Amino acid sequence: MGDLSTLARGRRQRREPSKIPYYIVLILLALFAIGPLVVLVFNSLKSNAEIGRNPLGPPLSPVFDNFPTAWSQGNFATTLVNSTILTTGTIVGVCIIAGTAAYAMARLDLPGTDAVLLYLFVASALPFQLFIVSLFFLWSTLQLTNTLFGLIVIYWAIFSPFATLLLRSYLVALPRGFEDAARVDGVSELQVLTRVVLPLSWPGFLTIALVSGLGAWNEFFFAITFIQDENLKPVTTSFLAFQSNFSRDWGLTSAASILIMLPVVVLFLGLQRRFINGITAGGLKG
Amino acid sequence: MTAWLFMLPLIVVNVLVILGPSVATIYFSFTDWSGIGSADWVGLQNYTEIVADADFWSALMHNLIWTAIFLTFPVGMGLLGAFLLSQITRFQMVFRVLYFIPYVIASVVNAALWQNILDPTRGIGSVLATVGIPYLDGVSFFGSERLALPAVAFVDNWHWWGFVVLLFLTALQSVDKELYEAAKMDGANRWQQFINVTIPGIRATLVFVVLMTIIGSLLVFDYIYIITQGGPAGASEVVGTLMYKEAFARFEAGYAAAMGLGLSFMSGLVILVFLYLRRREWEI
């Protein structure tokens, strides 16, 4: 009794309150965030019969059949390729579009940079609902609906304003000495960009590649609107059809879910700091 | 000149996909148009029809409910999580990563995962029933007119709040530590420190998150379209999903254009209020 009260007094005197309640709440929040994903992994390893008896708990007799079945029934051999093409095409295009634009604003003294910056802010905030109807009409006219290329061009447009802003702020902070030295040697502006600026600014490019790549891989709204052909669908919209075909076969849908999220989660855990900094820098879509 | 040449790819893609179609939407909003073929000028007819459309008002009401939900739960959880994280050093990065994981997962996966957990007969309700808590057994969260909207909002919030934590955490870490020391000297408890030091210190981020939340709630589409398609019987319909149906299911593209323009106008108004407050020297 006496020990406890001196202990309490000692605490008050040090004015250093215990952090244990903080950790308890933080752990509860972490369970809220991760618990459902643990259930997803559990259920991907259960037969449909076991899910009936044991809906959310750990698998008592784990089976791995769900994965090959989901792979073939979900047409993943095709859709994963489609998603990879969309993501790669988006990353390459956004890096080129944002790279050249950011370079023009940060280094080539683009006249009217302030107006362009304002436009980019506005363009990255314009709601999809404002242009989706006319865009669909335009894409039909140009025969770009039901093509991966048509969807990639849309992703270029919606992801490049933010990528340009991010890359510009990165380039502005880079010292100019090396570029000036290269210009003295008489190389062209394009070569200055590819030979000098790119090797120095790769972390900025990696960030915009991650953010726009994640955006393209997970994107739903434009994918469901512009791609109806089953053989061209990315994993996201194809999964929606798969889910309604195997309604409430949670073992199978869980396995398919894991196939979709695994590449993203692995990449995220590997490059967490860059992902988090890039996305919280203002990539506020979605 | 070279500079504009370097800008060309960005400008071409932007005008083609965003600016051009946005301007065209203004024109189409004054027409009767199916989405293909010719559009007939009808003046303000689409707008007068929207004003008289009970479905539209019901959907807008759901947007407002959605806004109220998102201004409380994610903002509250975000503040709580960020405040606690700012007070610790050990494992801070682990918690940040764990909270952020749902945000990087595709909406279709998050939706399916919660459809599984909230399944009426093979989900949390039946598990709770086996341990003597029968109240949720058989409840169809997404199939009930009363529960569908808050249930979908819950799923979207689960994916979103971890992102809000990180925004607030960045802001909190830039609050001057000496202000907390001064508050402690004045005898402020943790709650008083939070109200008098933390909140003013992160006001700019707080206003930004509120703004993002309101605009995001006006434009919400993905989770509702994926989980309930606005149902049952319009119980979770929002303007975004209603407009989408008008355009791509009922082929009333002119009407949908007017609705999309109205929605954009409302989110523009929110931004104007934000700019006005900033001009009034709110330091946000």
- Total of domains in chain B: 1
Residue B183 has pLDDT above 70, yes or no: yes
Question: Does the pLDDT of residue B223 top 60, yes or no?
Answer: yes
List CB contacts (< 8 A) between B122 and chain A: 51-52, 55, 248, 250
Rounded to 5°, angle at Cα A132 from A88 and A216: 20
Q: Using CB atoms, which residue from B20, B105, B190 is nearest to A264? A: B105
pLDDT 10s digits, B81-125? 998 998 888 899 999 999 999 999 999 999 999 999 999 888 888
Low-confidence ranges of chain A (pLDDT < 50): 1-3, 5-13, 283-286
Taking CB atoms and an 8 Å cutoff, what residues of chain A touch B248? 136, 225
> Has residue A286 been placed in a domain?
no
Give the CA angle between residues B89, B94, B100 to the nearest 5°.
Answer: 120
Q: What pLDDT does B260 receive?
A: 94
Contact B3 A126 (CB under 8 A): no
Q: Say if residue A93 is in the same domain as residue A231.
A: yes
Query: What pLDDT digit, counting tens, does each position of B166-180 carry?
Result: 999 988 888 888 888
B162 and B102 in contact (C-beta within 8 Å)?
A: yes
The candidate with the shortest Cα–Cα distance to B235, out of B150, B117, B158, is B150
- The complex scores an ipTM of 0.91
Could you read off the pLDDT of A8-67 as tens digits, one per residue? 444 444 556 688 999 999 999 999 999 999 999 999 999 888 988 888 889 998 999 999
Q: Is B240's pLDDT higher than 80?
A: yes
What share of chain B in percent tops pLDDT 90?
Answer: 64
For residue B111, give the H/E element and its range. helix B107-117
- Helix, strand, or coil (residue B162): helix
Q: Has residue B219 got a pLDDT over 50?
A: yes
Predicted local distance difference test score (pLDDT) of residue A66: 93
Question: Is residue B23 a part of any domain in this protein?
Answer: no
Domain count, chain A: 2
Which of A17, A46, A63 is the last residue in one of the domains?
A: A63
Structure tokens at B225: 């379209």
Is B27 a member of any domain?
Answer: no
Interface check for B248 against chain A (CB to CB < 8 A): the answer is: yes
Measured CA angle at B259 (ends B234, B235), to 5 deg:
10
A285 part of a folded domain = no
CB contact under 8 A, B84 and A25: yes
User: How many angstroms separate the CA of residue B141 from the nearest CA in chain A?
Assistant: 15
Residue B29, SS3 per DSSP: coil
CATH number of the domain enclosing B77: 1.10.3720.10
Residues A120 and A258 in one domain: yes
Asked if residue A51 is part of any domain, the answer here is yes
- Residue A17 falls inside a structural domain: yes
Final residue belonging to a domain, choices A63, A80, A100: A63
Long-range Cβ pairs for the range A116-123 (8 Å, 24+): A116/B7, A117/A165, A117/A168, A120/A161, A120/A162, A120/A164, A120/A165, A121/A161, A121/A165, A123/A161, A123/B14, A123/B18, A123/B19
Contact with chain A for residue B249, Cβ under 8 A: no
User: Which of A17, A40, A63 is the C-terminal boundary of a domain?
Assistant: A63
Residue B228 domain-assigned (yes or no): yes
The verdict on a CB contact (< 8 Å) between B21 and A235 is: no
**Which residue range(s) make up the domain with A32?**
2-63
- Whether residue B216 is contained in a domain is answered as yes
Whether pLDDT at B50 is above 60 = yes
Nearest to A94 by CA among A216, A7, A199: A216
Mutation target to probe the B interface, by most B beta carbons within 10 A, among A13, A37, A133 is A133
With cut-offs at 50, 70 and 90, classify the pLDDT of residue B203: confident
The model's pLDDT over B8-39, given as tens digits with 9 standing for 90+, comes to: 999 999 999 999 999 999 999 999 998 888 88
Same structural domain for residues A178 and A88?
A: yes
Q: Which domain holds residue B47?
A: 43-279
**CA A162 to CA A149: how far, in whole Å?**
21
Pairwise CB contact (< 8 Å): B101 & A286:
no
Q: Closest-CA residue in chain A for B161?
A: A33
pLDDT at position A282 is 54
Integer Cα distance of B161 and B265 in angstroms: 27
- Spell out the alpha helix ranges (H) of B15-53: 20-28, 45-51
Task: Find the mean pLDDT for residues B61-83.
Answer: 95
A56–B95: do the CB atoms touch at under 8 Å?
A: no
Give the pLDDT score at B165: 94
Average pLDDT, chain B: 90
Chain B residues in contact with A269 (beta carbon < 8 A): 97
Q: Residue A212 and residue A71: Cα distance in Å, rounded?
A: 26
Is residue A49 located within the same domain as residue A83?
A: no
